[in-house]
Amino acid sequence: MELARRLDLEILSADSMSLYRRMDIGTAKPSQEDRAEIPHHGLDLVEPWEEFDSSKFVRMADPAIQEIRARGKRPLILGGTPLYLMALLRGFFDGPSKDADLRLRLEREEDEQPGVLHERLERADPTAAERIHRNDRKRLVRALEVYELTGEPISRLQTQFEEGPPRYRYTALALRRSRDELRERVRHRCRQMFDQGLVDEVRGILTAGGFSRSASAAIGYREVLDFLEGRLPAEELQYRVRSHTHRLVRRQSTWFRSFPDLRELELCGEIGDRQIEQAQEMLAFGQEAS
């Protein structure tokens, strides 16, 4: 927010869960006051019971970026979700065509033995299995479909993300914190979500229309769903959310270490003027997009 104020930017969210309406507490969306002050894009696009993916994100983000530029401004793209960022910057993985019979067989196997697709992917493509949650059936089916049709792991075939010129010129900045500080911030964030009423928020969405597969994969929401459906004891709920969040932190940290030309800003505690000034210097806003 402070960078956007000082540099007259508009904000584009690249977070795969903030785009769902009603999912406010568990995604830590910016307040209405923040949105009124600084234009935000990529928030509250669809209902939780609708599916959304990286291709839809790019179809939303491209015209948003054009509109921002037409107003003589630049976008500050915040993430978020690595797949969405890479789809925006590098395009899409052009894999084999869908095989309806194969997909139906995989779906049936998962129905008969929940968790079997993730276990199979762990053996065939550990890199993809680390990235895809065991409840994200859509991506599990696609990864196994690609493997069965090509004999190659999908993670190996997605090298196009790392080759060729990007779709936009950009400057990338990662904010880094120590492991101990991250752990404490996760603890605080978890307590805050439940204090603000995450369980009631999930109940309300279930009453209104429920969750799509993609929405139900969100950390915080999927654990509350397990709790409400009797698969998770109440005393384990917050611990499970913290555990899954720490795992996400590790996965994202690993992924961003391989991000090309990434600049890093070390943070500790509250962000002050000096750190804001450092971020301004590092972002090199002469680029077309940052």
Answer yes or no: do 78 and 59 share one domain.
yes
Q: Note the pLDDT of residue 134.
A: 85
Q: Note the pLDDT of residue 79.
A: 82
Is residue 260, in this structure, part of any structural domain at all?
yes
Q: What is the CATH number of the domain that holds 139?
A: 1.10.20.140
- Sheet with 40-41, side-by-side order of all strands: 40-41, 10-13, 75-78
Domain that holds residue 108: 100-160
Residue 18 CA: distances (Å) to CA of 119, 130, 146, 271: 29, 22, 29, 23
Answer yes or no: do 74 and 178 share one domain.
yes
Q: Which of 119, 124, 118 is nearest to 156 (CA)?
A: 124
Answer yes or no: do 172 and 203 share one domain.
yes
Answer yes or no: do 87 and 104 share one domain.
no
Is residue 143, in this structure, part of any structural domain at all?
yes
Answer yes or no: do 112 and 236 share one domain.
no
Q: Taking the model in full, what pTM does it have?
A: 0.81
Q: What is the CATH number of the domain that holds 204?
A: 3.40.50.300
Q: What is the pLDDT along the chain (290 residues), one digit of tens a residue?
A: 999 999 899 999 999 999 999 999 999 999 999 999 999 999 999 999 999 988 899 999 999 999 999 999 999 999 878 888 988 998 876 677 788 899 999 999 999 999 999 999 999 999 889 888 888 888 899 999 989 988 888 887 766 556 668 899 999 999 999 999 999 999 999 999 999 999 999 999 999 999 998 899 899 999 999 999 999 999 999 999 999 999 889 888 888 887 878 899 999 988 889 999 999 888 865 444 44
Is residue 75, in this structure, part of any structural domain at all?
yes
From the CA atom positions of the chain, what is the Rg in Å? 20
Is residue 194, in this structure, part of any structural domain at all?
yes
Burial (CB count within 10 angstroms: exposed 0-12, middle 13-18, buried 19+), residue 147? buried
3-state SS, one letter per residue, for the chain: CHHHHHHCCEEEECCCCCCECCCCCCCCCCCHHHHHHCCEECCCCECCCCCCCHHHHHHHHHHHHHHHHHCCCCEEEECCCHHHHHHHHHCCCCCCCCCHHHHHHHHHHHHHCCCHHHHHHHHHCHHHHHHCCCCCHHHHHHHHHHHHHHCCCHHHHHHHHHCCCCCCCCCEEEEECCHHHHHHHHHHHHHHHHHHCHHHHHHHHHHHCCCCHHHHCCCCHHHHHHHHCCCCCHHHHHHHHHHHHHHHHHHHHHHHHCCCCEEEEECCCCCCHHHHHHHHHHHCCCCCCC
Is residue 173, in this structure, part of any structural domain at all?
yes
Q: Note the pLDDT of residue 290.
A: 46
> Which of 160, 194, 210 delimits the end of a domain?
160
Answer yes or no: do 65 and 130 share one domain.
no
Q: Which of 205, 211, 198 is nearest to 238 (CA)?
A: 198
Is residue 225, in this structure, part of any structural domain at all?
yes
Answer yes or no: do 273 and 219 share one domain.
yes
Is residue 138, in this structure, part of any structural domain at all?
yes
Answer yes or no: do 85 and 111 share one domain.
no
> Which of 160, 177, 210 delimits the end of a domain?
160
- Residue 179 makes CB contacts below 8 A (sequence gap 6+) with none
d(CA 289, CA 169) in angstroms, rounded, equals: 6
Answer yes or no: do 129 and 245 share one domain.
no
Answer yes or no: do 196 and 71 share one domain.
yes
Answer yes or no: do 254 and 173 share one domain.
yes
Answer yes or no: do 64 and 129 share one domain.
no
Report the number of distinct structural domains present in the chain. 2
> Which of 125, 160, 195 delimits the end of a domain?
160
Token pair for 276: 């804001």
Is residue 203, in this structure, part of any structural domain at all?
yes
